[in-house]
Amino acid sequence: MAKLPIIVAPDPRLKIKAQPVQTVDEDVRKLMDDMLETMYGAHGIGLAAPQVGDKRRVIVIDVARENEDPKPIALANPQIVEISDDDRIHEEGCLSLPEHYAEVQRPDWVKVRYLDRDNEIREIKAEGIMATCIQHEIDHLDGVLFVDHVSSLKRNMILRKLQKAKKLAQQTA
Ligand code: NI
């Protein structure tokens, strides 16, 4: 397994529409494993392939708490097939928008169909933090960031700060 560099916004690679995986083979499994290692290394609960510069529709998630056993899940071609009528609001963060958070309203639960690491079609009902996380990660596959769900005022403020931090990092590098 290898830890991959995580792309920080604003970056055009985070705005792409990722392409479906044909088959979950060794190559896709390696991507899943590398993404999990990258996510754990960054103390994240979810990661999508475009965040590591890969154009495939692959996401990984582990919403287990620090004191619980890890519960990694890797999904290829995840697709929301049903959503709840009720919404939930959760304060979201993102490894591509470090140190920025905002409340985002999304469906309270979702049913998601996907290919697992054995290339089997599976369906899960995601609730609570898992519902938020899975929707957040699927968004990444369509070039959507959590800041795209908040006011343009707040979005622009966050992106400007990140851009500024990038410039400073370049100057001091
Ligand atoms: Ni994210």
CATH code, domain carrying 37: 3.90.45.10
78 vs 116: CA distance, rounded Å: 9
How far lies 146's CA from each of 2, 11, 57, in Å? 27, 14, 18
* CA of residue 55 to ligand 1 center, whole Å: 15
Residue span of the structural domain in which 97 resides: 12-172
Residue 100 lies in a domain: yes
Residue 71 lies in a domain: yes
First-to-last alpha carbon distance for the chain, in angstroms, is 28
* CA of residue 93 to ligand 1 center, whole Å: 7
* CA of residue 173 to ligand 1 center, whole Å: 26
Residue 99 lies in a domain: yes
- The phi-psi region of residue 43 (left if phi > 0; otherwise alpha if psi is between -120 and 50; otherwise beta) is left
Residue 131 lies in a domain: yes
Residue 1 lies in a domain: no
The pTM of the whole model exceeds 0.85: yes
> For 14-64, how does the pLDDT look when each residue is reduced to its tens digit (9 = 90+)?
999 999 999 999 999 999 999 999 999 999 999 999 999 999 999 999 999
157 vs 149: CA distance, rounded Å: 14
Residue 4 lies in a domain: no
Which residue numbers are catalytic? 137
- Confidence check: pLDDT of 171 > 90: no
- The number of domains in the chain is 1
Is the distance from CB of 103 to CB of 87 less than 8 angstroms?
no
* CA of residue 18 to ligand 1 center, whole Å: 14
Is the distance from CB of 14 to CB of 51 less than 8 angstroms?
yes
> For 67-119, how does the pLDDT look when each residue is reduced to its tens digit (9 = 90+)?
899 999 999 999 999 999 999 999 999 999 999 999 999 999 999 999 999 99
* CA of residue 8 to ligand 1 center, whole Å: 10
